[in-house]
Amino acid sequence: MNAADDPRFDPVESIDLVQRLPGISDADLPFHGRHRIKEHLMRETAREAHPAPARSRRRLVLFAAVGAATCAAIVAVTLGVGGSSEHPVVAQTEPAAVQLLDRVALVAEAAPAPSVRDGQFLYTKTVGHSTSLSETSNGAMAAAPTDESAERWVSVDGSDGAVTRTARGTSTDPAGGRGKASVNGPTYRFLEGLPTDPGRMLEKIYADARLNHGEGSGSNTGPDQEAFVAIGDLLRTVEAPPGVSAALYRAAARIPGVVLVPEATDALGRKGVAVARVHKDQRTEWIFDTQSMRLLGERTVLLKDGPWGTAGTPVTSVAIVTRGVVDGAGQVPRQ
């Protein structure tokens, strides 16, 4: 299926959309493959009517004259991440999504690093909701939204733990120190130690994803989807050093099945453009401001009617409101 399992999403038009976004020009990109990408897409579309032999089709993208970032993403997918050599699992990664993520990475890379010191806290305020299912008196299942708005303070070095405040109350994660931080529970000092090379970053993300969601784990998510979700969680929950943020975006571009969604709206009603990945009739989207390329938030949208709601319904949606550095938990940054 296409980017959003929607016939309105055209890959060539998606390339054009990315080219028209303000803020970063194509001259600033690490590759200049617009026309070559379009030619490649048109060739691939034409081949659908006359499929090549299996062995040849696995090599088609290897010879596409696209830029290094796009080629790296498409080659990884064409070789069948997660499949065997005889029966590769081929998932389309849209060049437009790769291109957008490169733009976002360039903006992230150019941003000034936050001035932090041990003993301080990274502050993040978000608003949004998730959806839960409950059984009604007549035995039917009903979906209802749950407020997920929160303020969170994460100790810079982990020595003072983390504090989260929601409508349901305040919770405290115990201090773990630097050695206890992880991909799923990062601190700023932990993030500083992550690789800034996209390939090495992706290896680290996948090592954790395969451990908990790979073969034999009992998980029905799978490493590819879990890697995409893990990167999204890192980018949304804790502000990372600029080089690390850029590497996370470029690593995400190499995950099979990443696509572009031309229009998306966050939990605050702000409109933007998104990159996304589809898993089990749901599309997880990272939404970016079309002017600044700043991450606005994330949402998961239903692609089919079901007990959770009708197609097009955001079952989860979280928008980033404020970020900053403060001296103590409970404090908020000066505006």
Q: Phi, psi (5° rounding) for residue 80?
A: 85, 65
- Cα separation, 122 vs 295, in Å, equals 17
pLDDT tens by residue, 135-158: 777 877 788 899 999 999 999 999
Residues of the chain by 3-state class (helix, strand, coil), percent to 5: 35, 25, 40
pLDDT score for 325: 96
pLDDT score for 72: 45
- Cα separation, 192 vs 238, in Å, equals 12
Of 150, 196, 154, which is closest to residue 169 (Cα–Cα)?
Answer: 150
pLDDT score for 23: 54
DSSP code of 112? P
pLDDT score for 183: 86
SS3 of 80, please? coil
SS3 of 50, please? coil
Instruction: Spell out, as residue ranges, where the chain has pLDDT lower than 50.
Output: 1-5, 7-8, 24, 28-90
169 pairs with which residues across the strands?
Answer: 166
Containing 42, the helix (H) or strand (E) segment is: helix 34-47
CB atoms within 10 A of CB 142: 11
pLDDT score for 56: 35
Write the DSSP assignment of 116-167 as a string of letters. Answer: --TT-EEEEEEEEEEEEEEE-TTS-EEEEEEE--EEEEEESSSTT-EEEEET
pLDDT tens by residue, 183-240: 888 999 999 999 999 999 999 999 988 887 767 666 777 899 999 999 999 999 899 9
SS3 of 245, please? helix
Handedness of CA 197, 16, 317, 326 (dihedral sign): positive
Read off the pTM. Answer: 0.77
